[in-house]
Structure 1
């Protein structure tokens, strides 16, 4: 197997993994009410949906700029690690 082919396959898998995380975070941000975001003392629903939605769109548009993709991935991971548990905790009680 050619080294460049293997590298291309790995980069493609990383791209799809980043895209899946971003899409999951965006869809999950749409499921909670705006009141839940305020009760959890987080940014508003509109803000998070905008950040994550732009992130999903830019994942397709800005494929060649890895730094932008990294920032978008960090935004999705912050949502999943901080905001999502806080919102889910409101509904478990």
Structure 2
């Protein structure tokens, strides 16, 4: 009974990681090519290749060394989501606030009555 509960946990984690990788791949695919160069990150084809391989590796039965490939793919996905995605959002002005600073008010920057 304990192993059955454990298998559901592993399955849930696997589904979450595949979903995260698919989201990162879709996000990279929808970005402009020049945005990657503008933020001084790797090129769009590089990230599409790495993230695409990450998704594919998670579906293939690769034997005992497959865990290392899946782990490398998850690390690449996390690097994209934590480092590249925010840089792309800052250059495109997307997301919350439209690229504004956290101290900006509705009519411009708030300077504290100075």
Same fold (TM over 0.5): yes
Unaligned runs of 5+ in 1: none
Q: Which has the higher contact order (CA 8 A, sep 6+)?
A: 1
Return the structure number with greater helix share. Answer: 1
The structure number with the bigger radius of gyration is: 2
Which residue in 2 is equivalent to 1:9?
A: 8
Shift of 1:62: 3.8
Is 2:95 the partner of 1:90?
Answer: no
Q: What TM-score, normalized by structure 2, do the two folds share?
A: 0.76
Shift of 1:63: 6.3
Unaligned runs of 5+ in 2: 94-98, 100-114
Q: Is the 8 A contact 1:63 1:69 kept in 2?
A: no
Which residue in 2 is equivalent to 1:81?
A: 82
